[in-house]
Amino acid sequence: MQKTSQGICRKCIDKEIEAYHTVRDYLHDHPDDTIYEVSENTGVDVLQIEILIQSGRLEQAGLKILHKCNTCESIISQGRFCSECNANVCGKIDDLPKTFARPGKIESKHEIETKMDDRFHRFTRK
């Protein structure tokens, strides 16, 4: 077995490409099918289809397939998260600076240096 730069053997890459083409061609004719219907009718494993969805390859080809949100498992047609979970994550990201901010006033560089001078003696080499 010879591995490629992706750490996957050539045979497995070829299988993944074949699965992609099978799913892509099927979805052109059946755009409203769920991931389970696509799997049942194409023979491509649900896990492989989920990997194609998460990698964004199907979306880049202009195809949408009904699948579960990675967080709440509601049914969505594109992306990894539903709009509600996406907004929740974005809100948490926006709150991060507030979470890690220290209470009280922020001291200036001069105030910090003044305090340091009071605590430590600086030795200079001659």
Q: Could you report the per-residue pLDDT of 57-115, keeping only the tens digit for each? A: 777 777 777 788 888 988 887 778 888 998 888 877 777 676 666 666 665 666 666 66
In a domain, 67, yes or no: yes
Into how many domains does the chain fold? 1
In a domain, 90, yes or no: yes
In a domain, 4, yes or no: no
In a domain, 3, yes or no: no
Range of the domain at 48: 10-119
In a domain, 48, yes or no: yes
In a domain, 126, yes or no: no
In a domain, 125, yes or no: no
| Separation CA 62–CA 41 (nearest Å) | 20
Please state the pTM of the whole predicted model.
Answer: 0.54
In a domain, 85, yes or no: yes
